Structure 1
């Protein structure tokens, strides 16, 4: 275990010093186990969870080959004496990966361009914030943050901690969770079932700073709503020490949205959309006529305030993009397309092995379906062409027969006078002469016919 920059320093020293030692062990001062390293990577880059596998499970899942597992089972600590005593190194990470994980992760993310995408979507009620947010989360594989759900999730977590505590032993975590629950209940009793703003902001900041949101990103759906709320959540100043200008923790910068999108629509469009919802859905979303009208009026008042939420983001140089919603498209295809073009391509850590396999199967199935569809279309086109050719051939045959019939009729009409002439003046004499010729059978029948016709003509 050694940072690649430190390894480069060791190699540079070998080139310059040319030590007589044949083998040099390049290691840092860390004594971390593989489990400690994986846990720290998960805490810093992922959700903070680990999946412990048996040797058989690792082989079955093809995570490791059997011969590789033998190396992982070695428990041997070695010390790099030569590089410590003989080399002049300016260490990048002498304490090892676990101690310097934050710096290593930052290097890794910047090098691989694996940067979290943080988006805030705001707008009037019924404009489609939640639908657009869900589609963005699916596209970028990031987390959908809705304040109501975040509060419910936090209360559920606290109840699980309290319920899972051993009543006979002291549990500091359970006591702290119980105290928080009591504070939440007291606040909701005093505010008609709603938490005080400062508690909401604390819960939201905790959620946004959780490893999944911090490392992968999020879409903040419809919150904050005002300039003051945005300042309390994303301000870098410590509100308790503003005079001293003490800065809040660095994570404040890491939870500030990088992109803000304001969806806009006319009041008439929004009202018509709300009225078109089923009664049950309208009640669940608080879009009944009276509630919706009140919420829409409140939103317009906040938008007309001297300092608005969008003004706050402008001050942070996060300039909001305004997108008009003018068509009642349930998929919001145009809106999502505009946002993804502005945000750019996904910059997350990609799919898991299972997700990759599923995606490959889906792509293969889509390819097969496409090939089958193309083959069916070609067959259909060929059959249609053959049918058209057969129809054209039948039509040609019909036309040909009709032409032949008409030609015959025309020929018969033209030949009728000649036939009458021959039958009246030629055929009687010629028939008699031919009959006499067949009876006598002369040696030269042509001369016989000529003399017979001439003689007959003289007699007449």
Structure 2
């Protein structure tokens, strides 16, 4: 068991950091949480008793506020706070041994909060349970307008000793005000309340901030040249985020006498130097100068980050070199350490390439499925024929550009390839095919995003030659890990299905291609014969323990939905950037076009339906009128028929009787002529006869 003395020697210091979920604070917190204090201690000629005060054998316990934008809990902070009142915040500050306030790239609220925090703590020095330390992480933008030390020699760098000469950028005057306040309040009682200011250079590493735009542009490879805004001649003092965390840790442990420090590496890189290094390591390798104003159109950069990119200062952090021992990650700067920074960037951003090989018999649908995979994962479709054509075109272009140069390597290679194609009937020997494909898979787009190798290699030997490492860096398996596929999918289907598919292809698609039925059958026979051998291409991947998946094509799955579901289940999530603004805008535009077309189609259909209903109503009205006319005509004919019958009846039956009755009436002259006539007609009714 540990003795009481050992327990006392091993202490835990509570460190408060604001916005611990954001870039700068996050990585400082991660660095400190994994560090045992005292590890950087070194006794040398520069240290005296006061400067060597530290936290012996101490670990750091991280607490802090969060911005609220990230819902995931920090993996290093033991306590996180949000939406605190000033009373609650002050209580947490009083409970902490070290307070780190980062205002490097923060908004006005955090700047004002830092000013309040250091002032509130200073007022309660007498109530401190023990000594406290306040570290402010500010920005070198507070030096942006500082005049050179010697107009005749502008290359003389600024050091920490010149901090009283500094003049701030107009947008960073509030930063400077907090810097001055922190330095001032730390002078009254340094034993109880020591305060420090770290003026940070432009921060990089672990996913980037201001440089992220250039990393992303280079990685995507959509632009042939990476832009440099302005002439790029301005020198940007910078610091790797891990090195900044190391400086914070050194200040915490050593409690130095000076209060103001420059947190920069030893580089004197210009913007053009940095962007060119990024473009060469990650992208096309070419840059171009564009107007400075174009940078303001970039939505991915904040105004503060843009301001940092245009700073022009020569800085030298002498104190750290003489008095601190920092385990530098990037002491010489981003340009000299670009390969490491690029790897950090890709790992932090999850930009891992997806390398897939898709194999199968002819006409099984390899190219169609490959296109779907490439679209989903944003990969590069590598076809043998197209790659050879592209290589020849590039060589011819290079030869035309090098006509006046002595370098005839491209010319020689082009002639060799063409001669070989002529000798083999437009085909290339495997030796050249392998080299062309290997060069293609090693291009930066394929190394950055990944690729789908469509239908190649076809044999065990081709696979071995393609993925074999020729230099001394070969692994035990002797494979080139930078191009070896992560996933291999073997598609298959019955011969009957494949034959029927080829027979049903339109003539325009198969004419002059390998899918013509005459050429297809020998290819299918050759594939089946080769597939029955002991050493087939799939065995090569199986020997390397590469994930191999056999997928049988379902004849009912015309859109290959089931195949894509299997592929996505095995490959997993997209290891790429989310959709960029241009892509989202295009998607939005396509959605609007589709909705507009659907609305137009709906309106056209409604109009057509209305016209049909109107025509139907007109036809019904016409039919109704026609039938009404027929009914009327029938009624008229019936009435005329009945009228004629009545007339005939009156003429031949009633009128003779009525005439006789009138004659009798005249002859007899009764008193009531009406009754007489009625009686006469009734008694002489012909129907009663």
Per the TM superposition, whether the score is higher than 0.5 is yes
The aligned residue for residue 393 of structure 1 is: none
* 1:249/1:58 CA distance change after superposition, 3 Å: farther
Deviation at 1:69, TM superposition (A): 5.5
CA distance in 2 between partners of 1:368 and 1:275 (Å): 39
CA distance in 2: counterparts of 1:210 and 1:110, whole angstroms: 19
Match of 2:522 among 275, 279, 294: 294
1:235 is matched with which residue? 468
Structure 1 match to 2:206:
none
CA distance in 2, matches of 1:265, 1:82: 71
1:157-205 Cα deviation digits (max 9, x unpaired): 11111112353xx353xx2211110111222123222122121111111
| Residues 486, 547 of structure 2: 8 Å contact kept | no
Aligned to 1:191: 424
SS at match of 1:305: coil
- Distance, in Å, in 1 between the alignment partners of 2:251 and 2:417 is 63
Task: Find out whether 1:33 has 2:235 as its counterpart.
Answer: no
Greater helix proportion? 1
Match of 1:216 in 2: 449
Give the superposition deviation at 1:149.
Answer: 0.6
Q: Please state if 1:182 is matched with 2:415.
A: yes
Q: Quick one: distance in 2 between partners of 1:181 and 1:203?
A: 12
**Residues in 2 aligned to 1:183 and 1:335: alpha-carbon distance in whole angstroms:** 41
- TM alignment of 1:242-321, pairs within 5 A: 252-321=480-549
Q: 1:141 aligns with which of 378, 386, 395?
A: 378
Worse-superposed segment, 44-53 or 221-230: 44-53
TM-score by length of 1: 0.72
Q: Are 2:393 and 1:156 aligned?
A: yes
Helix, strand or coil for the counterpart of 2:518?
Answer: helix
Cross-structure match for 2:246 = 9
Structure 1 residues 182 and 261, CA, compared in 2 at 3 Å: closer, same or farther?
A: same
Q: Is this contact kept in 2: 1:237–1:248, CA < 8 A? A: no
CA distance in 2, matches of 1:301, 1:163: 44
Tell whether the 8 Å contact from 1:133 to 1:219 is kept in structure 2 after alignment.
yes
- Within the candidate set 329, 334, 354, 1:117 is matched to 354
Matched-pair contact (CA < 8 Å) for 2:469–2:479: no
Which runs of 5 or more structure 2 residues have no equivalent in the other structure? 1-237, 603-689
- Is the 8 Å Cα contact of residues 44 and 215 (structure 1) preserved in structure 2? no
Structure-1 separation of matches of 2:449 and 2:497: 35
Matched residues in 2 for 1:59 and 1:198: separation? 50
Alpha-carbon distance in 2 for matches of 1:7, 1:371: 57
Distance of aligned partners of 1:110 and 1:60 in 2 relative to their CA distance in 1, 3 Å threshold: closer
Report the CA distance between 1:111 and its aligned residue: 2.8
Q: How much does 1:108 deviate?
A: 2.6
1:154/1:251 Cα in 2 relative to 1: closer, same or farther (>3 Å)? farther
3-state DSSP of counterpart to 1:253: coil
1:343 aligned to 2:571? yes
- Tell me if structure 2 keeps the 8 A contact 1:208–1:255: yes
* 8 A Cα contact 1:43 1:211, kept in partner: no
SS in 1 for 2:381: strand
Query: Structure 1 residues 165, 91: closer, same or farther in 2, change over 3 A?
Result: same
**Is the CA contact (8 Å cut-off) linking 2:360 and 2:492 kept in structure 1?**
yes
Which residue number corresponds to residue 355 of structure 1? Answer: 583
Q: Describe the shift of the 1:142–1:309 C-alpha distance in structure 2 as closer, same or farther (beyond 3 A).
A: same
The alignment partner of 1:93 has SS state of coil
Q: What SS does structure 2 have at the residue aligned with 1:28?
A: coil
Q: CA deviation at 1:271?
A: 0.8
Q: Matches of 2:241 and 2:591 in 1, distance apart? A: 38
Give the distance between the partners of 1:371 and 1:62, measured in 2 at CA: 33
Distance 1:322 1:67 in 2: 52
Q: Is the 8 A contact 1:184 1:195 kept in 2?
A: yes
Give matches, 1:38-117, under 5 Å: 38-50=275-287, 52-60=289-297, 71-117=308-354
Residue 368 of structure 2 is matched in structure 1 by: 131
- More strand, by proportion: 2
Separation (CA, whole Å) in 2 of partners of 1:320 and 1:14: 53
Which whole-Å deviations, capped at 9, do the CAs of 1:86-140 have from their partners, x for residues lacking one?
Answer: 1101212222222222222222322332211111110000000000000111111
Partner of 2:489, secondary structure, is strand
Shift, 1:354, TM fit: 1.4
Q: How many angstroms does 1:23 deviate by?
A: 1.9
Tell me which of the two structures has the higher relative contact order, counting C-alpha pairs closer than 8 angstroms and 6 or more residues apart.
1
Distance in 2 (CA, whole Å) between partners of 1:220 and 1:59 is 40
Gaps of 5+ in 1: 375-460
- Structure 2 length normalisation: TM-score? 0.49
Q: Following the alignment from structure 1 to structure 2, what is the Cα–Cα distance between the partners of residues 272 and 282?
A: 13
Per the TM alignment, residue 38 of structure 1 is displaced from its structure 2 partner at its CA by: 2.2
User: For the residues of structure 2 that align with 1:327 and 1:246, how far apart are their CA atoms?
Assistant: 43
Q: Return the offset for 1:20.
A: 2.0
